[in-house]
A and B are shown apart, each in its own frame.
Chain A
Amino acid sequence: MTAEIIHITLLSIFVSISATLLASAMAVPLGTIMGLHKFRGKEIIRTITYTLYGFPPVVAGLIIYLMLSREGPLGSLNLLFTPTAMILAQMVLVFPIVTGLTMSSVSDVAKDVKETAMTLGADRWQTAKTVLNEARVGVISAVMVGFGRAIAEVGAVIMVGGNIRWHTRVLTTAIVLETRRGNFQYALILGGILLSVALIVFFVLKRYQDKGVRT
């Protein structure tokens, strides 16, 4: 049982951190650009992004399921019921959160920092890096919230992962299963591990939040 718990825990960490990092790698630059610049249609994109904060996980799971199923556009990749499918489902949920919160954080400091950087001779890229550094507390908070959404996710990962023992079973899906079986003590242990994992990841991100990035 110990070996299985370790496997479930490591898979949970791998899937959620991968989903958060991959989604953030796209969401942070996008949120920064949207926070820095004014353009036609920005308000519509902002509204859609905020609406997607509440994207129902089962809908995200259904969309990924349909795309990865044998008849779907990505069916030939044989990804359904694999950890990759679970990462994709979590990315769909994390992406709008990190994008929207990054955009808000960048917008808050953009005017003052942009003007300061430009008057001191920064080019466009240096200005963006400086703004991002000044907004880092908010941006890393955005990544934390995104990770929180990913690690706590159950509906979408059950649909596209299938909760297969030793293959796609993660902490949340295992808790659901053990609760249904009436193994409440085991479910509670898994819940404690889930909270501990979240705590450790948030602690690491908080340290990074305090340090900032080089400009």
Chain B
Amino acid sequence: MSHEIAMRCEDVCKSFQGNTILDELSISVEKGELLAIIGPSGVGKTTLLKIMNGLICPDKGEVRLMDDRLRFDDEADLGARRKMALLSQEPYPLSKTVWENVAYPLHLRDEDDIEERVEDALEHVSLMDMAERNAGTLSSGELQRMAFARATVFEPEVLLLDEFTAHLDPYNISVLEDAVEWYVDEKDTAVVFVTHNLFQAERIAHTTAFLFDGQIIEKGTTEEVFEEAEDERTDAFVNGEMVF
């Protein structure tokens, strides 16, 4: 890790129909850091990722990607959005081949070496043999692997993953986790993933943050959070107990 902040959220607030989801939440992630955000269902983990990606505008607070402050305007943030990628739990396959799906972000940016880069991205998720298949015919595991290749082919500086292995079988989970770990090490990218799977967080995350009651209750190295949590709510959650 280079200890250079890649993304920072400061005092972010968000409410939906009067329900406060995020309440002056602050968090940052460094280049080369693999950060897991854990917390009970409905606590706002996906909302936080979408705010980080500029898809949802916070009611208050700010999000910075490196030195750029997001303005939450599609066109104004285009430069910043092109440095980030968000992989959702249920990615949408464009009605093209696997190859064309992965090449899509490169075409958007008019980039060179498309063939070489797509091939490289597909190899890291073991999908080269399916390159010419229609993406709509892939299984959920293959689709998620293709979506990972599509989200990383343009080498974003911040990669946001929302429950990226939910409902997948052990083989696909293993391929994706390996790909994420390789990607962080190789590209020095900041990766933030939200997960319900505490084993996964413990297995691959460098750092873990516990989101509860609209705020980050605790953030530390994964070992600290799981073994020596300072907050009793964090300790209860990582030990599988109900948190109030």
Contact = CB atoms under 8 A, between A and B. Distances in A.
Interface of A: 112-113, 115-124, 126-127, 130, 133-134, 212, 215
B81 A134 contact: no
Given A119-B53, A121-B82, A121-B108, A113 B92 contact: yes
Contacts of A112: 92
5 contacts: A115-B92, A119-B88, A124-B75, A133-B95, A215-B104
A75 B151 CA distance: 59
B85 interface: yes
Contacts of B45: none
Nearest to A136: B95
B109 interface: yes
Interface string B77-119: 0100110111010011011100000001101110000000000
Contacts of A126: 108
Interface size classification for chain B: 20 to 34
Given A119-B53, A130-B94, 8 more contacts: A118-B55, A118-B74, A119-B85, A120-B105, A121-B81, A124-B74, A124-B75, A127-B74
B108 A120 contact: yes
A32 to B, nearest CB: 16
Contacts of A120: 85, 104-105, 108, 150-151, 154
A134 B95 contact: yes
A112 B136 CA distance: 14
Closest 7 CB pairs of A and B: A121-B82, A119-B86, A120-B105, A112-B92, A116-B92, A121-B108, A122-B108
Main secondary structure on chain A at its contact with chain B? helix
Contacts of A118: 55, 74, 81
A121 B105 contact: yes
A118 B84 CA distance: 10
Interface string B178-198: 000000000000000000000
Contacts of B53: 119
Contact of B94 (A113, A123, A127): A113
B78 A123 contact: yes
A122 to B, nearest CB: 5
A115 B55 contact: yes
Nearest to A109: B92
Given A118-B55, A118-B81, A119-B85, A212 B105 contact: no
A124 B55 CA distance: 13
A80 B91 CA distance: 54
A127 B104 CA distance: 12
Most chain A Cβ neighbours within 10 Å, of B88, B91, B92, B154:
B92
B95 to A, nearest CB: 6
Interface in B150-167: 150-151, 154
Contacts of B86: 119
Contact of B55 (A113, A119, A133, A215): A119
Nearest to B160: A119
Contacts of B55: 115, 118-119
Nearest to B84: A119
B22 to A, nearest CB: 20
A134 B74 contact: no
Contacts of A212: 95-96
Interface string B50-72: 00010100000000000000000
Nearest to A134: B95
